[in-house]
Amino acid sequence: MAADSSKLKVGMPETLPNPEEAPEVLSDAVDQSVKVIDTELAADIMGDNPTLEEGEEVASWPMISFSHVSMWFGETKTLDNVSFTVNRGETLCILGRSGVGKSVALRILMGFLKPQVGSIRVDGEEINGLTEEGMQQIRKRVTMVFQNGALFDSLTVRENVAFPLRERGGMDEDQIQQVVDRLIGLVGADDVPDALPASLSTGRRRAVAIARALASQPEVVLYDEPTTMVDPIIARRLGGIIQRLKKQLGFTSIVVTHDMRFAERLADSVLFLHEGRAAFFGPLKAFLASPDPHIQQFLTLDAYQLPLA
Ligand SMILES: Nc1ncnc2c1ncn2[C@@H]1O[C@H](COP(=O)(O)OP(=O)(O)OP(=O)(O)O)[C@@H](O)[C@H]1O
Ligand SMILES: [Mg+2]
């Protein structure tokens, strides 16, 4: 469906409540925001991309697929015959212990790493073997929110978010500032528009990184450990943003996380990597019910249960 801005029924609130001040109202605000109709922002963010009509289901077809992907670093096989798909509009959570290749999988999808074996498709297009120029086209559709935010240190919050808009061109300064205002409001950074990234907390930097990722108008957003090193309230807020992007704008997301509660809230499907292999790929419910001992251990181990002295 080509977007017709007169028909857009999706949108985002102008601002979110400050979670530090009113954590209990955040989930209400997130729920209510689903009903907010703001055609302008949806059009601003999505341009001519497909957007969801109210109550409309997203047609399911693979937006991302890995097929029999293996990747070696030297002698070490880090990914071993990994296959999975993510349908358009769905959220895949990649889970697994440290060092199993979760971040490597995301970097492959961005074209930063090239696996020796296997096929990786984005909306049907094979990307393994694409030139850097071809990959740049893919990175307009697939963007990544890095663990450290990867913001430009010498640019303010506002300028960081404006960067992809300026790079893309086609908007005058007023339009750029309007979209920037909305995006930083969306992620709750509208009180620090002129701050430099170094002066912000990790959670704030990550929120700004999400705003900057959205400014590039992607169809797929990859998040590497969005909730590590932030407090539970910020984690919930980031989760709310990711969820809203999916519900309202039909974004496809891949979220790498250790945080099972976060995964349970967001995931349509789960990829569980163990020793480089896809030990599980399927719906969240089946994952939670899996008898696989490695999965059970992952689900039930309490990191804070210390051995008795
Ligand atoms: N560029 C690289 N060169 C060599 N080895 C690499 C490279 N990138 C990743 N690796 C190795 O691949 C393995 C998987 O790394 P990866 O970063 O994907 O783990 P992860 O599952 O994301 O772990 P964590 O949960 O700790 O972030 C590690 O052993 C890592 O050292
Ligand atoms: Mg990692």
For residue 44, the domain's CATH number is: 3.40.50.300
Question: Closest ligand to 273 CA?
Answer: 1
For atom 2 of ligand 1, the residue with the nearest CA is 73
Beta pairing partners, 73: 76
Indicate the top mutation candidate among 104, 228, 255, 256 to test ligand 1's pocket, ranked by most ligand atoms within 8 A of CB.
104
- pLDDT given at position 140: 87
State how far the Cα of 266 lies from the Cα of 73, in Å rounded to an integer: 31
Which position has the higher pLDDT, 159 or 189? 159
Cα separation, 190 vs 101, whole angstroms: 35
Please indicate, yes or no, if residue 286 is contained in any of the structural domains.
yes
* Residue at 3 is within a domain: no
Q: Residue 126: which H helix or E strand, with range?
A: strand 125-126
Q: Which residue has the higher pLDDT, 65 or 309?
A: 65
Tokens of 47: 């341009």
Answer positive or negative: Cα dihedral of 153, 258, 278, 86.
negative
Note the pTM of the prediction, 2 decimals: 0.79
How many A from CA of 275 to the centre of ligand 2?
14
Residue 55 domain flag: no
Q: What is the pLDDT of residues 47-80, one digit of tens each?
A: 444 455 555 555 567 999 999 999 999 999 999 9
Ligand 1 pocket, Cβ-based, cut-off 6 angstroms: 73, 78, 96, 98-104
Distance in angstroms (rounded) separating the CA atoms of residues 303 and 97 = 12
Residue 231's domain comprises 39-50+60-303
The count of domains in the chain is 1
Rounded mean pLDDT, 29-44: 39
Query: How is the beta sheet containing 76-87 ordered, strand by strand?
Result: 76-87, 62-73, 117-122, 125-126
Which ligand is nearest to the Cα of residue 146, counting in written order? 2
In a domain, 13, yes or no: no
Give the Å distance between the CA of 28 and the centre of ligand 2: 32
pLDDT digits (tens, 9 = 90+) for 195-217: 999 998 888 888 899 889 888 88
C-beta of residue 138 within 8 angstroms of C-beta of residue 127: yes
| Greatest Cα pair distance in the chain | 67
Residue predicted with more confidence, 86 or 251: 86
Q: Which residues of 196-217 are buried (b: 16+ CB within 10 A; e: fewer)?
A: bbeebeebbbbbbbbbbbbbbb
